[in-house]
Amino acid sequence: MTEISISVPGEEAKTVEAGISAQEALKELLSKKQRKQAIAALCNGERTDLSAPLQTDTVIEPILASSDEGMHILRHSSAHIMAQAVKELFGQDVKVAIGPAIEDGYYYDFDRDTAFTPDDFAAIEERMAEIVKARLPFERRTLPMTEAITFFSEQGEEYKVELLKDLEQKGENSVSLYQQGDFIDLCRGPHIPDTSWLKSFKLLRVAGSYWRGDEHKPMLTRIYGTAFFDKKDLKKYLNRLEEAKKRDHRKLGKQLGLFTIQDEVGPGLILWQPRGSLLRKLIEDYWKDAHYKHGYDLLYTPHIARQDLWKTSGHLDFYGENMYSAMEIDEVAYQLKPMNCPFHIGVYNATKHSYREFPVRWCELGTVYRYERTGALHGLMRVRGFTQDDAHIFCRPDQLEEEIFNIIDLNLQVLKTFGFAEYDVYLSTRPEKYVGSDEHWELSTKALQQAMDKKGLAYAVDPGEGVFYGPKIDIKIKDQLGRSWQCSTIQVDFNLPERFGMTYTGQDGAEHQPIMIHRALMGSLERFIGVLIEHYAGAFPLWMAPEQARILNITDTQVDYCVQVHAELRKAGVRVEQDLRNEKLNYKIREAQMMKTPYMLIIGDREMEEGTVTVRKRNGENLPPMTLQEFADLVSQECEQGTA
RNA sequence: GCCGAUAUAGCUCAGUUUGGUAGAGCGGCUGAUUCGUAAUCAGUAGGUCACCGGUUCAAGUCCGGUUAUCGGCUCCA
C-alpha cells in the first residue's frame, strides 16, 4: 500500500493510505461539525466529489453547503435530478441538451415536440421528490471519448453527441459521466453525494431557447428552477421574487401615473404622463447643472440627418440593421438618428480649433431611435425611442488620462446622487478586428487603467471585448435588490475623428487629429428611470419626487386655508398638491400613501387657527405642527442634501 | 425575429371547460355625511369582450390569421 499525505491548508499534514475518499480524508482532518457541512471538496485546487479517491499527496478543503460554490453544486445536481424526473415521466419523447446552474437557480433544456407548460410542473416536482427520497448516490465514472459517443448515440441523445464531438475536437480523449438511478448525464461535476441533499426546490417557469444560443439552431424548451439547502432560504428567495414583482416599473409606472405605452402610438415608444414628465425634468435639470459645473457645454441637435452623414460616419455599414429606413425629403434620403455623435462632430467641424481650447466637453440629452426586435422590448428598459445622456470630449493625447479621470469622477458622483453606491466596473480591451494604430490603443487603454487606479476604482478586464473603434469602461450599478444594470459607458474612439477629418492646430502649427471620447452616465433616461422606479420601489427621494407634499383637509371648514397654504408653498418652491375632496382623512392618507407622497400636510381647525400644518411622513412618522416657512425650509434642506 | 402563454369597463379580475348576444370590486359621476393619521353610505353612468376572417340558426366562448403584452432565447442604452 502506498501512503500519501493529506492536509487542510495551513494545518499539519497526516499520512494515510492512498485511495481513501475525499470524504474520509476530511474525516481525518476536520471536526464532525466542520465536515458535516461539506458538500464537495477542493483537492489541490480542483473541485471534486466527496466520493473521489485520493491517489497523491493532497491539500484538501471542504466546499461548504452554505458557500456560493456549494449552492452552485446543489443547483447543478438539482438540474440533473429534474432531467431524470423528466426522462422518467416523458421518456422517449424527450432529448436532453444542457442543464447548468445559474445565478439563483438552474435550468435544463429539452427537445420535445410539444413544449412543457407550467401545468407539467406538479408532476415533475413530485417525481423529483421521489428521487430525493430514494437517496440515490451520484456516481461518477470516466469513459474514453469513443465509448461515450457510442453510448449517447445509442440513447439517441444527439445533443450530447454534438457536445462530445466538440470536446473531441478540442483534444479531449475522455469524459466524465454522472449517474443517479438510471439517469446518466455527461458532466464535469462535482455533485452532491446523493439526491437526499436536495431539501427544497421549486420549478419556476418555462421558456424557449435556442440550442447553444444560436437562432439558426433548433428551439428547445427550457425549464427554470431553483434549489436551496434550507426551506427557509427558498421561501426567502420566493419572497424576493414577490418583492421584485411589486417593484416592477411597468406596474408602478401605471399606479403612479408616470408613463404609458399604447398600441396606437407603437411598441417601444414612451408617452410620459405629467408626473413622469416632471420626474424626468427634475433628473434632467440636475444632470445639466452637474455637467455645467464640471465644465461641459450643452448642445441640441436634430433627430434626422441626410443619409450621407450616416454613410460618412459608418453607421449605415455597421449599425444599419438597427436604423429605421430612410424617408425622402425633396428627393434626398434622410434617416432618424440612432446616435448623436455625428452631430457633435458637425458642431466641432463648424469652426477651426486650437490645442489651447482643449479639452472640449459637449453634452446633450439626445433622443435617438433604434430598431429593436419585437421580442426584446420591455417597458422602459428596452424601447425604440430613447434619450441618451450623451457627451463627447475632444482632447489631445496627453489630456486623455485626466479627462477619463474627470469623467469617472462625475460619473460616480451622479450615480451616488441617484442612490447607487455599489457597482461592478469592466475594462474592455482591443478586439480582433479594430481600427486605429496599436500605439493609440496602448496609450488609451493605459489612460483608462491609470485613471481608474488613481480613482481607486476596482475593475475587471474583459480582454478583446472592446468596440472596434477603441477601448471602453462599462459600469454596472447594483440596485436595492442586488440586481445589476449596465448604464454608464466610457469609450475612446479613433474612428470617427478619422472619418470626419477632424483636426486641430497644435503648438507646432501643424494639423493634428483630436482624440474623441463618447460617454453616457445613465445610459438611457428611459431605462435609468425604470431602474430608479424599481430601486426606490416608486418612493423617490424628495429632490426628485414629482409630488413632494399633499395637503389633506379634515373637513370643508379648512378649504380656504388649504388653498392659501397651497399657493404659498408653491411660491416657496415646494411641489405641493391638494386633496380637498369631501372624504375621510383616512381615505386621503391611504391614497397619498399609495402614491408614495413624501409628506402629507394635515390641516384641521387647530392648524388653521395657529397658521401651521401637521406633517406626516410617508413612513408613518408624524412631525410636530410647523409653520409654512419651517416646512418649506425642511423641504429645501432635504433636497439640497439629496443632490449635494 | 424564434418558442410558449395571455388579451373582457379607466384599473384589478370573474365569465371560456359544457356556444344562447356580458359581471364584480376599485375608480368616475350624483346625493347624503363634515369626519384627526392606510378605504363612510346610497344611487348611477361606463364594454363593437384587441383586430380580421371562418364554423354555426346563434360566438366573449370553437377554428384560422394579425397586432400587442408577458416569460425566456438572441440582441442591447
C1' of B71 to CA of A240 (Å): 17
- The contacts of residue A173 (CB under 8 Å, 6+ apart) are A144, A145
Closest nucleotide to A210 by C1' from CA: B73
Q: d(Cα A474, Cα A429) in Å, to the nearest integer?
A: 11
User: Taking the domains of chain A in order of start, what are their residue ranges?
Assistant: 3-64, 69-244, 259-301+340-536, 542-643
Q: From residues 205-234 of A, which are strand B contacts by CB within 7 A? A: 205-210, 213-215, 219, 221-222
Amino acid symbol at A410? L
b/e burial code for range A113-134 (CB count within 10 A of at least 16 → b): eeebeeebbeebbebbeebbee
pLDDT, average across residues A31-41 = 85
Q: From residues 472-501 of A, which are strand B contacts by CB within 7 A? A: 486-487, 489
The average confidence (pLDDT) of chain A is 93
C1' of B56 to CA of A206 (Å): 37
C1' of B25 to CA of A225 (Å): 35
Query: Do A3-64 and A542-643 come out as alike in CATH topology?
Result: no
Q: d(Cα A137, Cα A197) in Å, to the nearest integer?
A: 10
Strand B–CB A115 distance below 7 A: yes
Instruction: Tell me which architecture the domain covering A3-64 has in CATH.
Output: Roll (3.10)
CATH says A69-244 is which class? Answer: alpha beta
- CA nearest to A385, candidates A537, A208, A267: A267
* A259-301+340-536 is classed CATH 3.30.930.10: yes
Residues in chain A, overall count: 644
pLDDT, average across residues A533-542 = 96
Weakest mean pLDDT among A23-27, A127-131, A500-504: A23-27
Helix or strand run (H / E) with residue A477: strand A472-478
Q: Is the dihedral of CA A627, A631, A637, A641 positive or negative?
A: positive
Residue with the bigger pLDDT between A10 and A368: it is: A368
- Scanning the structure block, which residue is given the C-alpha cell 465509448? A147
* A542-643 is classed CATH 3.40.50.970: no
Question: What does the pLDDT read at residue A35?
Answer: 80
Question: What does the pLDDT read at residue A1?
Answer: 67
Eight-class DSSP state of A46 = E
Which of the residues of A are catalytic?
A: 341, 370, 388, 390, 392, 472, 518
pLDDT, average across residues A45-57 = 88
pLDDT, average across residues A164-190 = 91
Weakest mean pLDDT among A110-124, A212-226, A338-352: A110-124
Strand B–CB A264 distance below 7 A: no
pLDDT, average across residues A390-416 = 96
For the question of an ipTM over 0.85, the answer is: yes
C1' of B44 to CA of A581 (Å): 19
Q: What percent of chain A has pLDDT over 90?
A: 77
DSSP for A584-613, written as a single string:
-HHHHHHHHHHTT-SEEEEE-HHHHHHTEE
pLDDT, average across residues A25-39 = 84
pLDDT, average across residues A94-99 = 92
Per-residue confidence band for A13, with pLDDT thresholds at 50, 70 and 90: confident
- Contact between residue A451 and residue A404 where contact means Cβ atoms under 8 Å apart: yes
Q: Edge-to-edge strand order for the sheet containing A622-627?
A: A576-579, A549-553, A599-603, A612-617, A622-627
